Amino acid sequence: MTLIVDDAGSGDLLFGVVVGAYHEETGEFRYDIIDVRFYQDIFREKEYLKESSRVVSSLVSKFKIKEDEEIHICQGCIFDVAAEDLRKVYGEDRVKRVHVDGEAQRLVETAYLDEIRNLGYEPLAERDEKRGKSFFHMMRWLKANPEMLKYAKTGWPRLKNYQLFKPFHGKQTFKVVCSKCGAECEVPFQPKGDKPVFCKKCWSNHKPARKTRGKKRIVKRKK
């Protein structure tokens, strides 16, 4: 038989991501959560991929599957690291990337909906068919309940275009090494590598002085 691993909520604005595992033979279902903090300040570091692998490995180990059983894991990119890590443990032939549907998908989706209902949010009935409408429905709910922004995936880059999420998207900086003094520093632009980059102190000493243009004063003589 097969153990099926799927996720729900990765494309939704609210809450973290529910990862579920369903065993076809026994009907047993377990799930865990990738915390929403992985989709906030540290989203750009993609640490959620490692956390996804940790969650999946923990879930799979609880089923004690037999040596002849396969593990089918959803094709979504959230499981790219998890699938590779599972193959190292269970073998290449036993771990397969698949499109998940049926009972496994239903159970994981239900678990996610239960979690967001626990926040006080009632999801749209047609959310699967109208993802765009569901996104704006969640955003309007957050606007009406700003204290719940701590449960939103505020790290998504596209959210910086919305006034509600601007406080979570400050000016981006990049870590570099100063070309003059060798100190580590941050600059507000992406270095291209073909020009030197300076820290604040070295830049203040390096930048050319501004040329001031004197204005000619015209004095009109009285006739």
Q: Are residues 196 and 152 in the same domain?
A: no
Total domains in the chain come to 2
104 falls within a domain: yes
21: domain range? 2-159
Q: Are residues 94 and 189 in the same domain?
A: no
166 falls within a domain: no
Q: Are residues 180 and 149 in the same domain?
A: no
216 falls within a domain: no
Which positions ≥6 away from 169 have C-beta within 8 Å? 157, 159, 160
217 falls within a domain: no
Please tell me the distance from the alpha carbon of residue 99 to that of residue 116, in angstroms, as a whole number.
Answer: 24
Q: Are residues 13 and 99 in the same domain?
A: yes
18 falls within a domain: yes
pTM for the structure as a whole: 0.75
Q: Are residues 116 and 200 in the same domain?
A: no
Provide DSSP, 120-140. Answer: T----TTTTT-HHHHHHHHHH
Cα Rg, the chain, nearest whole Å: 26
Q: Residue 96 is part of a domain; what is its CATH number?
A: 3.30.420.10
Please tell me the distance from the alpha carbon of residue 16 to that of residue 42, in angstroms, as a whole number.
Answer: 13
Please tell me the distance from the alpha carbon of residue 117 to that of residue 84, in angstroms, as a whole number.
Answer: 33
3-class SS of residue 177? strand
Q: Are residues 133 and 183 in the same domain?
A: no
Residue 186 has what pLDDT? Answer: 78
pLDDT by residue, tens only, the chain of 223 residues? 899 999 999 999 999 999 999 999 999 999 999 999 999 989 989 999 999 999 999 999 999 899 999 999 999 999 999 999 999 999 999 999 999 999 999 999 999 999 999 999 999 988 888 889 999 999 999 999 999 999 999 999 999 889 899 888 765 667 888 888 988 887 766 777 778 888 888 887 765 555 444 544 544 555 4
Residue 221 has what pLDDT? Answer: 55
Please tell me the distance from the alpha carbon of residue 76 to that of residue 2, in angstroms, as a whole number.
Answer: 18
Please tell me the distance from the alpha carbon of residue 185 to that of residue 182, in angstroms, as a whole number.
Answer: 9
Cβ density class 170-184: b for 16+ within 10 Å, e for less? eeeeeebebeeeeee
Q: Are residues 109 and 182 in the same domain?
A: no
Q: Which two tokens stand for residue 120?
A: 């006080």
Q: Are residues 8 and 110 in the same domain?
A: yes
Other CB atoms within 10 Å distance of the CB of residue 163: 8
Domain boundary among 101, 125, 159: 159
Q: Are residues 31 and 71 in the same domain?
A: yes
Residue 212 has what pLDDT? Answer: 47
221 falls within a domain: no
Residue 220 has what pLDDT? Answer: 53
Q: Are residues 144 and 51 in the same domain?
A: yes
164 falls within a domain: no
Domain boundary among 103, 136, 159: 159
3-class SS of residue 212? coil
218 falls within a domain: no
Q: Are residues 121 and 198 in the same domain?
A: no
